[in-house]
């Protein structure tokens, strides 16, 4: 088996889970850390920012997985049309000096007889989970498999999928998984639009409308900075978005930093919270979120 060198510029690409697992077990037994960046591909600067953070770790081999995970898509979602740009993705990862890329297929990840899945806690039924039942069970299940197959010591997740990040943290704590999660702030375009693989579904006009989502969150943040209440902060986001009736709002919610309900918050003073939203623009569903400081 060829050694995986952290200075090589062409990543070693694994499609076989078994082969990946054998190689990463050897790397771990040599005393190196393994930093994993799980993705669904169609890579953009958001993903690459996670990769660069992983690359900063000392004594670590960096692995990126590219897998459009069927388990986390609902029956009416975009599994079939989700952008797949494997060659481009691997070229980008080579440029970043990534050591290993894992590109499994649904058949090798979920062979006949696959039965066991992760059952997330109650938070998985709220926010995104309210309209995407099974989404987080699918995401946590695939990541558990990826953690196990890559033998990773560290895994990097974007705050773009804030609820996923919190649920991942809950799982790592609850199940004592032996790895450290590293949250990475959202990367935005100059317009404020959070980078997303799904942005490529947007027409020029829809892209312009999509920039209003982050503007609405900034309006909410300003309301928080002005000392307004949780209800008023949410109201500020809604009234900003009211100007754009083409935006179909699914939810706007203010939660504490671990996504607990604000009604249950007992802290006083300045409390770090999260303002989260989901909306449809045309047929594209987008999510965004932002940290805000609530004064209580
Ligand atoms: P995905 O390919 O959409 O599953 O995303 C893979 C990882 O990249 C997840 O941890 C995402 O949260 C993260 N990510 C996606 N977009 C961004 C962004 N704009 N900024 C930061 N992280 C991101």
Check whether residue 85 and residue 224 sit in a common domain.
Answer: no
Mean pLDDT of the chain: 96
**Tens digit of pLDDT for each residue in 215-260?**
999 999 999 999 999 999 999 999 999 999 999 999 999 999 999 9
Q: How far is the CA of 200 from the centre of ligand 1 (A)?
A: 14
Check whether residue 112 and residue 91 sit in a common domain.
Answer: yes
Q: Give the position of tokens 């990773």.
A: 152
Instruction: Confirm whether 2 is domain-assigned.
Output: no
Instruction: Confirm whether 4 is domain-assigned.
Output: no
Whole-angstrom CA distances from 278 to 29, 177, 192, 249, 253 are 43, 30, 16, 6, 9
Instruction: Confirm whether 1 is domain-assigned.
Output: no
Looking at 122, 151, 184, the residue that finishes a domain is 184
Check whether residue 84 and residue 221 sit in a common domain.
Answer: no
DSSP conformation class of 61: E
Check whether residue 114 and residue 90 sit in a common domain.
Answer: yes
CA dihedral 183, 197, 68, 165 (to 10 degrees): 20
State the pLDDT at residue 9.
73
Check whether residue 222 and residue 153 sit in a common domain.
Answer: no
Check whether residue 151 and residue 52 sit in a common domain.
Answer: yes
Catalytic residue among 47, 135, 151, 182: 47
Q: What is the dihedral sign for C-alpha 98, 138, 167, 294? A: positive
Instruction: Confirm whether 114 is domain-assigned.
Output: yes
Measured in degrees and rounded to the nearest 5, phi and psi for residue 128 equal -60, -35
Q: Distance between CA 246 and CA 109 in Å, rounded?
A: 39
State the pLDDT at residue 230.
96
**Where are the extended beta strands (E) located within 47-140?**
60-66, 100-102
Check whether residue 237 and residue 156 sit in a common domain.
Answer: no
Please check whether residue 86 is in contact with residue 40, taking contact to mean a CB–CB distance below 8 angstroms: no
pLDDT higher than threshold 50 for residue 12: yes
Ligand 1 pocket, Cβ-based, cut-off 6 angstroms: 39-40, 46-47, 49-50, 157-158, 160-161, 184, 186-187, 194-197
Which residue range(s) make up the domain with 165? 12-184
DSSP conformation class of 188: B
Tell which atom from ligand 1 comes closest to the C-alpha of 47.
8
Instruction: Confirm whether 217 is domain-assigned.
Output: yes
Domain count across the chain:
2
Please check whether residue 25 is in contact with residue 67, taking contact to mean a CB–CB distance below 8 angstroms: no
**Tens digit of pLDDT for each residue in 115-174?**
999 999 999 999 999 999 999 999 999 999 999 999 999 999 999 999 999 999 999 999
Instruction: Confirm whether 7 is domain-assigned.
Output: no
State the pLDDT at residue 50.
98
Check whether residue 60 and residue 133 sit in a common domain.
Answer: yes
State the pLDDT at residue 1.
53
Q: How far is the CA of 47 from the centre of ligand 1 (A)?
A: 5
**Tens digit of pLDDT for each residue in 21-77?**
999 999 999 999 999 999 999 999 999 999 999 999 999 999 999 999 999 999 999
Looking at 184, 208, 240, the residue that finishes a domain is 184
Q: Which residue, by CA, sits nearest to atom 12 of ligand 1?
A: 158
89: CATH: 3.40.50.620
Instruction: Confirm whether 205 is domain-assigned.
Output: yes
Q: Distance between CA 242 and CA 84 in Å, rounded?
A: 34
Check whether residue 142 and residue 77 sit in a common domain.
Answer: yes
Please check whether residue 219 is in contact with residue 236, taking contact to mean a CB–CB distance below 8 angstroms: yes
What is the helix (H) or strand (E) element at residue 247, kind and residue range? strand 247-256
Tell which atom from ligand 1 comes closest to the C-alpha of 159.
12
Q: Helix or strand or coil: residue 154?
A: strand
Looking at 162, 184, 206, the residue that finishes a domain is 184
pLDDT higher than threshold 80 for residue 95: yes
Closest CA to 65 of 109, 32, 95: 109
Check whether residue 207 and residue 174 sit in a common domain.
Answer: no
Check whether residue 178 and residue 228 sit in a common domain.
Answer: no
State the pLDDT at residue 7.
47
Please check whether residue 261 is in contact with residue 255, taking contact to mean a CB–CB distance below 8 angstroms: yes
Strand partners, 285: 280
Residue 135 annotated to the active site:
no
Tell which atom from ligand 1 comes closest to the C-alpha of 187.
20
Q: Distance between CA 166 and CA 124 in Å, rounded?
A: 10
Please check whether residue 274 is in contact with residue 259, taking contact to mean a CB–CB distance below 8 angstroms: yes
State both tokens at 276.
Answer: 């989260």
Q: Distance between CA 242 and CA 248 in Å, rounded?
A: 10
290: CATH: 3.30.1300.10
Please check whether residue 37 is in contact with residue 155, taking contact to mean a CB–CB distance below 8 angstroms: yes
Q: What percent of the chain has pLDDT over 70?
A: 97
Q: How far is the CA of 66 from the centre of ligand 1 (A)?
A: 12
Instruction: Confirm whether 241 is domain-assigned.
Output: yes
Check whether residue 178 and residue 227 sit in a common domain.
Answer: no
DSSP conformation class of 56: T
């Amino acid at each position: 088996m060829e050694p995986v060198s952290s200075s090589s510029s062409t990543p070693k690409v694994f499609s076989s889970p078994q082969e990946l697992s054998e190689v990463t077990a050897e790397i771990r037994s040599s005393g190196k850390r393994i930093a994993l960046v799980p993705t669904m591909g169609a890579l953009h600067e958001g993903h690459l920012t996670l990769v660069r953070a992983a690359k900063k770790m000392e004594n670590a081999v960096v692995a990126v997985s590219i897998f459009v995970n069927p388990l986390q898509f609902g029956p009416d979602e975009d599994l079939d049309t989700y952008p797949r740009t494997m060659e481009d993705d691997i070229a980008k990862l080579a440029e970043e000096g990534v050591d290993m890329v894992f590109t499994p297929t649904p058949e090798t990840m979920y062979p006949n007889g696959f039965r066991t899945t992760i059952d997330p806690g109650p938070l998985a039924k709220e926010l995104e989970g309210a309209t995407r039942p099974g989404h987080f069970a699918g995401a946590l299940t695939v990541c558990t498999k990826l953690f196990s197959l890559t033998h990773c010591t560290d895994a990097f997740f974007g705050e773009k999928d804030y609820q996923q990040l919190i649920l991942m943290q809950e799982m790592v704590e609850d199940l004592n998984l032996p790895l450290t999660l590293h949250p990475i702030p959202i990367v935005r375009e100059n317009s404020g639009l959070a980078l997303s693989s799904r942005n490529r579904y947007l027409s020029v006009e829809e892209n312009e409308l999509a920039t209003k989502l982050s503007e609405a969150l900034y309006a909410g943040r300003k309301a928080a900075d002005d000392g307004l209440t949780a209800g008023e902060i949410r109201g500020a986001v809604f009234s900003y978005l009211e100007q754009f009736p083409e935006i179909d709002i699914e939810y706007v919610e203010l939660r504490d930093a671990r996504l607990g309900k604000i009604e249950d918050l007992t802290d006083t003073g300045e409390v770090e919270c999260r303002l989260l939203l989901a909306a449809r623009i045309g047929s594209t569903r987008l999510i965004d979120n932002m940290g805000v400081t609530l004064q209580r």
